[in-house]
Structure 1
Amino acid sequence: MTTLLNLFSFAQVGINTDKPASYSGLHVSERKDPANANPDRYNGIIIQRYTETERDTQLTPNMGITQNSLLIYNTSEDCYNYWNYADMEWKSLCGALGKSAFTFDCSVVTVRGSYVEGRELTNSNFLTIPVVVTKPGEYTIMATTTNGYSFFTSGTFLNTGEYTIQVPGQGKPVAVQVDTLNINANGIDVNCTPPVQVNVMSAAATYTMSCGSATVNGVYKVGTALTASNTITLPVNVSVMGSYTITTNTVDGISFTGMGSFTSIGQQNVTLYGTGTPTSTTVKAMTITSDSQGTVETTCSVNVIVVVPTKTFLQIGSSSFSLGYVGETSASRAFLSAPVNFGAAENSKIKVEGYNFSTAYSASAAITGLNNNPDIVLIGYHLDITDDLATALANYAKKGGVIMMISENTSVERFFRKLYGMSNIDASGSTTANTGSAYYYTIQGIDDEITNGVFGDVRGLYWGADVGSTTIRISNLPVNDAIIYSTSNASGGNAATFFRTASYNVIFVGDGGWLSNLSTGADVPNTGPTAHAGSSTTAYVFAINPDFTVRPRTGYDDGVTIYNSTVFANMMAWAVKKAEENRLKK
């Protein structure tokens, strides 16, 4: 029995000591002389080292229950591994997944934010690094400079695949210079060619922005990523030179940024570059924020307009007379089809892909067309509004449909009676407007999109009827819903000849020839002071310029100037906007 105890005692092994600690099988001592207070110069243990490939080819095939807990050092992972027989796999002491393996392309590393001498980095200062992970596990990424700031992040990749890592910055740039980042990934230095660099700018300048004079450049479409052409040109007035950083908020997926240094004082322009992809057609009110120093205004706003999709356009009218609606060869159709007015070009006043036109020359055809839910309906000369068509139009309007009614048929009262549920609404003919037998109407001073829209301000000016035809006036409209732009002096001047409804997307103009113009050859567009040589100076009232932009019609009745094309243009801009709003609500 004594011999057995001696065997257990002498089974203890000591390295660098002849007095191994009690109960230890192996004791590696830090001091050869236990009485010495200082550890020996050389101490520690080096466990057998294998690459991951060597481990899996040389060791794994021989691992079994007797090798359970076998310890090695994995040089590929830079961590200790031990054999776990229960799971029949190597476990890492660095975590459940161990160290990850990933690659990235230095050319796509992006430096975000502005870097200014003496200014502390914030959460807007970071690197974005797209990586390809080939082995899940833990990772560390750092990028250092010799200029007082650096970047660092760590985490765990749970799966293989492509990721974009944000590496936040910290510190404060000390000097104005261009810094080359020294990047290290999982403890390995990455040699980037060309190098990733950061431009540290001088202290921020003092300047004011003129957002009211800003220009939004480029075309913006839903689902189409912004390019280098999508910019904002922003006038500024610099009083103290230095760096600048001007940014916007992100609205519906897009934002703008500009940065640099002012090297002179006074008026100059800054370009803000857009990024992102628009997600909707709503007007984007971008708040612009500057880093200007001193007691100056540092925020303002500018609108970005997105092209709306193609609109379906149903024209309802008589086939015997094409001047009262947007016929295929009419001047008003030419105006609508010109990209300078309505189109997807950068200089288009109203951004819309275009129109798909259809026509209905009878009440039954009109009802069929309305059942297809067009975006915009234009009722022109001279179709009779039957009870069935009035009901269909009222139902369409109540669903948010857009109706532009240009008519001199008293049957229109059927539509308004059904729309409002009021039997006393009356439509009657009138051949007088301002004075005597004149055919022009004063546009009231109401300030809205129709009277003071993108194509011009017509408040206090005139629109003119096609002389020789009847102008319709509507009486007994609900006073809390009718926005009346012009009246007839007949019946005391209290009947509307031009109005819009507040509750529905409906506009009414009481003259079927209100868009009239000759429709062939050089007479489209009408560019002269009169409609056509040898014809009545008041028969053709819709005038546009050779470049299809709006123009006043001069030489009208009593020598006055009328603005039918400007009013129509504002009406169409309003109609496109309302049609898009209605589409988004569906």
Structure 2
Amino acid sequence: MKRKNYLLMMIFFVNIVFSQVGMGTANPRGALDINKETTNNMGLVLPTNADPKNLINPMGGNVAIGTIMYDSTLSCVRVFKSTGWSNCLCDQCGPTPGYSLDCSSGALTGTFTAGTASNGTKVIKYTNATGQAYGAISIASTGVTGLTATAPAGTLNGNGSISLSISGTPSASGVANFTVNIGGQSCTFSVTVGGQTFRKMNVLGITAEPWYAPVDNNTYASRAILTSSQNFGQNGTFPTNGFNIVAGGVSQGVALKNLINNNNIDIIIIGYSYVPNDASIAILNDFVQNKKGVLMYSEEYNYTQTPKLINAICGGSGTTMTRIAGSKYDQLTNVNDPLLNGPFGDIRGKLIGSDYADTSFYTKSGLPSNVTVLANRFNDASTPLMFKHNSLGFVYMGDSGWLGGSATDVRTQIFPIGMNAAGAPQTKPWADTTTSYMGFLYANAIAWAVQYAQTNTSTNYIIP
């Protein structure tokens, strides 16, 4: 009897395994056929749950691929695939439009300025979402680089929106573009980056010869480059609100101090043949150290007072200068400094003309340790011509001609700055064999001075 029972049971199971199953029908048309042959008026009711993640495999592990359920939250049927739970199986059918992203209608907030840490938000709207999950969003801008749009991970359901945070320092003015990709849909948006506009700067020019400091008319580069809207206008290469230029002549002592205090001076540019006396050295040092303004000092006229000023500002005592004839031109170093690689161009390693092509002051000994050398006597790194303090607003140039030039002067041994009729810097043929980039150096220096002065100048400070 037992052997007969075993045999009957085996026949029963083999019949199940190797045949079709019909529910409501004696003639199944597949492995499983749920039907009523006469009426066909009853549907299949699927397991229903508010979240497919709640479904389990009674054998353990993941839900079996092919598992199907009704998502009561999204009101749709979903199936488990090798990649996870699908979106709604009918998310693209019928008259209802499918899931989509919209970058055009959501609000954009924030101010974005070139070279300045900026931030804002952008709202991305979506419609007819069916549980599209996405990871943490991080989108780097294209076009104008330097900005990143971010948002935490999440899931899209129905109609709603995502708020992106936008932050960073834009590389330039212009348009920064972003492309958002979520759940197979994408859209783009952009933000406008404005040029940084600096407040109006008060500039004091000191010189005995007006073409070597910005005190004369716009014939000469020392002033024309500053007043050119193409360079420093609100829509210029380096946007500013312009300059208030004060002519200081060769003022010394109390007269110099009053000019600085009464005019709230941000930048002092000293040109040829101004030799500060000891009282003026103390005032200029106080201006750089305490008011934290910018001093551009060029001199090739006096061996004793120039090193005194440098030593006072740079905190040393051993700097001495020497005057060398016959240089004709000098070479800029390759350091990545804003004067050599700034908004008006990368001029690292380029040549600059020596005014009158014969004499300049070079550092003979005791170069301060807290400065960056920007130019050397050509082919001679042992004789620095130009340097900038690493933390204070101080630049020294041992050739006053670095401030001289005009749009019409084509001589190749005087006034090494080249510029066009609009005051924009350009190269100038020099010494019959080379090209001077002095105009770009001067324009970059002014841009650096403006930025430094706006950040560091204490407009309420009075030099005692």
Common fold: TM-score over 0.5: yes
- Structure 1 residue 214: Cα displacement: 2.6
- Structure 1 residue 509: Cα displacement: 1.2
- Structure 1 residue 543: Cα displacement: 1.0
Write the deviation string for residues 328-355 of structure 1: whole angstroms up to 9, x where unpaired: 322331221112211222xx22121111
Mapping for residues 172-321 of structure 1, pairs under 5 Å: 201=127, 211-214=141-144, 247-249=164-166, 290-292=180-182, 305-318=195-208, 321=209
In structure 2, the partner of 1:542 is 417
Alignment partner for residue 390 of structure 1, among 253, 257, 281? 281
Q: Say if 1:246 and 1:291, in contact at 8 Å, map to a contact too.
A: no
In structure 1, the partner of 2:14 is none
Say whether 1:369 aligns with 2:259.
yes
Instruction: Provide closer, same or farther for how the CA distance between residues 357 and 212 of structure 1 changes in structure 2, counting only shifts above 3 A.
Output: same
* Runs of at least 5 residues in structure 2 that lack an aligned partner in the other structure: 1-73, 75-95, 101-123, 150-159
Q: Say if 1:363 and 1:383, in contact at 8 Å, map to a contact too.
A: no
Mapping for residues 463-482 of structure 1, pairs under 5 Å: 463-467=352-356, 470-482=359-371
Any idea what SS the aligned residue of 2:355 has? coil
Alignment partner for residue 442 of structure 1, among 313, 331, 355? 331
Any idea what SS the aligned residue of 2:212 has? coil
- Structure 1 residue 567: Cα displacement: 0.6
- Structure 1 residue 244: Cα displacement: 11
Say whether 1:326 aligns with 2:201.
no
Q: Say if 1:386 and 1:414, in contact at 8 Å, map to a contact too.
A: no
Any idea what SS the aligned residue of 1:441 has? strand
Distance 2:142 2:176 in 1: 15
Distance 1:552 1:396 in 2: 33
Say whether 1:570 aligns with 2:462.
no
Q: Say if 2:387 and 2:397, in contact at 8 Å, map to a contact too.
A: yes
Distance 1:175 1:489 in 2: 72
Distance 2:280 2:238 in 1: 31
Distance 1:396 1:501 in 2: 14
1:422 is aligned with what amino acid? Answer: G
Instruction: Provide closer, same or farther for how the CA distance between residues 482 and 215 of structure 1 changes in structure 2, counting only shifts above 3 A.
Output: closer
Alignment partner for residue 418 of structure 1, among 312, 319, 325? 312
Say whether 1:406 aligns with 2:298.
yes
2:313 is aligned with what amino acid? Answer: L
Distance 2:331 2:211 in 1: 23
Write the deviation string for residues 360-390 of structure 1: whole angstroms up to 9, x where unpaired: 1122432322334411110111111111111
Instruction: Provide closer, same or farther for how the CA distance between residues 544 and 489 of structure 1 changes in structure 2, counting only shifts above 3 A.
Output: closer
Q: Say if 1:314 and 1:374, in contact at 8 Å, map to a contact too.
A: yes
2:427 is aligned with what amino acid? Answer: P
- Structure 1 residue 420: Cα displacement: 3.1
2:216 is aligned with what amino acid? Answer: E
Say whether 1:506 aligns with 2:394.
yes
* Runs of at least 5 residues in structure 1 that lack an aligned partner in the other structure: 1-147, 149-173, 179-197, 217-231, 235-242, 253-268, 273-287, 434-438, 519-524
2:336 is aligned with what amino acid? Answer: D
Distance 2:390 2:161 in 1: 46
Say whether 1:581 aligns with 2:455.
yes
Any idea what SS the aligned residue of 1:494 has? strand
Distance 1:332 1:540 in 2: 10
Q: Say if 1:323 and 1:381, in contact at 8 Å, map to a contact too.
A: no
Distance 2:414 2:175 in 1: 51
Distance 1:509 1:414 in 2: 15
2:276 is aligned with what amino acid? Answer: I
Q: Say if 2:144 and 2:176, in contact at 8 Å, map to a contact too.
A: no
In structure 1, the partner of 2:78 is none
Alignment partner for residue 429 of structure 1, among 317, 323, 328? 323
In structure 2, the partner of 1:156 is none
In structure 2, the partner of 1:485 is 374
Distance 1:461 1:377 in 2: 26
Distance 1:199 1:390 in 2: 63
Percent identical among aligned pairs is: 22
- Structure 1 residue 405: Cα displacement: 1.2
- Structure 1 residue 200: Cα displacement: 5.1
- Normalising by structure 1, we get a TM-score of 0.47
Any idea what SS the aligned residue of 2:457 has? helix
- Structure 1 residue 446: Cα displacement: 0.5
- Structure 1 residue 512: Cα displacement: 1.3
Distance 1:480 1:432 in 2: 28
Q: Which structure 1 residue ranges, 4+ long, deviate > 6 Å from structure 2?
A: 202-205, 207-210, 243-246, 269-272, 298-303
Answer with 354-363 or 576-585: which moved more.
576-585
Distance 1:416 1:585 in 2: 24
Distance 1:498 1:570 in 2: 14
Distance 2:298 2:165 in 1: 43
Distance 1:505 1:271 in 2: 33
In structure 1, the partner of 2:152 is none
Write the deviation string for residues 235-292 of structure 1: whole angstroms up to 9, x where unpaired: xxxxxxxx9978443789xxxxxxxxxxxxxxxx9987xxxxxxxxxxxxxxx78455
Any idea what SS the aligned residue of 1:323 has? helix
Where relative contact order (Cα < 8 A, 6+ residues apart) is larger, the structure is: 2
- Structure 1 residue 430: Cα displacement: 1.7
Distance 2:457 2:422 in 1: 31
Answer with 299-308 or 458-467: which moved more.
299-308
Distance 2:339 2:331 in 1: 14
Distance 1:560 1:202 in 2: 67
Distance 1:404 1:548 in 2: 20
Say whether 1:378 aligns with 2:269.
yes
Any idea what SS the aligned residue of 2:330 has? strand
2:296 is aligned with what amino acid? Answer: M
Q: How many residues align?
A: 316
Distance 2:310 2:213 in 1: 20
Instruction: Provide closer, same or farther for how the CA distance between residues 384 and 202 of structure 1 changes in structure 2, counting only shifts above 3 A.
Output: farther
Write the deviation string for residues 44-103 of structure 1: whole angstroms up to 9, x where unpaired: xxxxxxxxxxxxxxxxxxxxxxxxxxxxxxxxxxxxxxxxxxxxxxxxxxxxxxxxxxxx
In structure 1, the partner of 2:348 is 459
Q: Say if 1:344 and 1:351, in contact at 8 Å, map to a contact too.
A: yes
Mapping for residues 113-192 of structure 1, pairs under 5 Å: none
